[in-house]
Amino acid sequence: MSLSIPKWLADAGVTKAIPSTRYTKVGGRRIRLIVLHFAVTPETASAAEGVAKYFQSGVKASSHFTTDNDSTVFQVPLEDVAWAAPGANHDGIQIEQAGTTQTREQWLDPYSLAMLDRTARLVVALAQHEGIPMVHLTDAQLAAGKAGIVDHWAVNRVYKRSDHTDCGAQFPWDHFMARVAYFAGTNHQEDDMPITDKVVPSAMLGKNEPAVAIPRALDLIMRWSLEARDNAIQARKIAEAQALKGGALTEDEVKAAVREALSEAAQIEVVVRPQEVTP
Ligand SMILES: [Zn+2]
């Protein structure tokens, strides 16, 4: 069968369609949950394609999507039920990810950071399209029938239908949900603007709406702080990898990186001076 990628999914980074063969065709359903998994694979650039092809092998399993560090693969139409998380199949969207049980550090290595960004972009698009809140549900919320984002492990803790524990205790939910917030709040136009205009667009500083402008500015600053933290994690990983290979950064390179980070932070500080947000 063929499976075409709608524009809104292409815009969310879906790169290819490799249809699964075993799933339940229902042709329309109410979707409540986005369920994250890992597929127990090596971390390679073709891992997602490999998982998708495995789901064409006749195995009694499937998922709507699989992500790896450079691909987001679409496998089962959203209106149909993939077989991945008994208890949350009929009302869930299933996303497999490359990799296996990892420590938090390993979940934050360059490969996984790239993959988690792909998953986060996809989750934002799915949540917006299906009207699912972008919240990581507690077990109690999941059991109470709330809508949101969970992993396969939570589904099994609540519904006790299998013993899978992916994504596991070390999955960096804080990082992941920060990336979801980042992709949910970013548009490309905003990215092209100078940082001061991004934080407090001048229109917001008019006489009329300070009560709106201030929380909005703080919200944006929080988001960029998270982004800066993620960039720092990424930079540290790269530096560590280079050091391991014997190619440590020069002192000048370190100073330049620190200077750049500080200057971004300084620009943010400038725009939250009280006199600038007082009407
Ligand atoms: Zn799973």
Task: Output the tens digit of pLDDT for each of the chain's 279 residues.
Answer: 689 999 999 999 999 999 999 999 999 999 999 999 999 999 999 999 999 999 999 999 999 999 999 999 999 999 999 999 999 999 999 999 999 999 999 999 999 999 999 999 999 999 999 999 999 999 999 999 999 999 999 999 999 998 899 999 999 999 999 999 889 984 334 444 444 444 444 434 444 444 455 556 666 666 666 666 766 766 666 666 666 666 666 777 766 766 666 655 545 443 443 433 434
The pLDDT value given to residue 213: 55
Rounded to the nearest angstrom, the distance between the alpha carbon of 41 and the centre of ligand 1 is 12
Which residue ranges make up each domain of the chain?
7-183, 188-277
Q: Other CB atoms closer than 10 Å to residue 185's CB: what's the count?
A: 14
Q: Which amino acid is at 131?
A: G
Phi, psi of 182 (to 5 degrees): -60, -50
Tell me which residue of 99, 96, 95, 97 sits closest to 42, measured CA to CA: 99
In degrees rounded to 5, what are phi and psi of residue 2?
A: -110, 155
Cα–Cα distance, 245 to 240 (Å, whole number): 9
**Residue keyed to tokens 């390179």:** 253
Task: Say how many Å lie between the CA of residue 86 and the centre of ligand 1.
Answer: 10
Alpha helices in 32-185 (DSSP H): 47-54, 104-107, 110-130, 139-143, 152-159, 173-185
Ion ligand 1 residues within 5 Å by Cβ: 37, 152, 164, 166
Measured in angstroms, how far is the CA atom of residue 195 from the centroid of ligand 1? 40
Predicted local distance difference test score (pLDDT) of residue 261: 63
- pLDDT, position 245: 66
Q: Backbone dihedral region of 20: left (phi > 0), alpha (psi from -120 to 50 degrees) or beta?
A: beta
Identify the pLDDT of residue 118: 97
Strands in 16-17's sheet, in edge-to-edge order, are 16-17, 72-74, 65-67, 92-97, 33-36, 148-151
Write phi, then psi, for 148 (nearest 5 degrees): 165, -150
pLDDT of residue 190: 44
Q: Give the span between the Cα atoms of 89 and 79, in whole angstroms.
A: 12
Ligand 1 centroid distance, CA of 168 (Å): 10
Residues in contact with 228: Cβ distance below 8 Å, sequence separation at least 6, in sequence order: 261, 264, 265
**C-alpha 230 to ligand 1 mean position (Å):** 26
Q: 7-183 maps to which CATH number?
A: 3.40.80.10
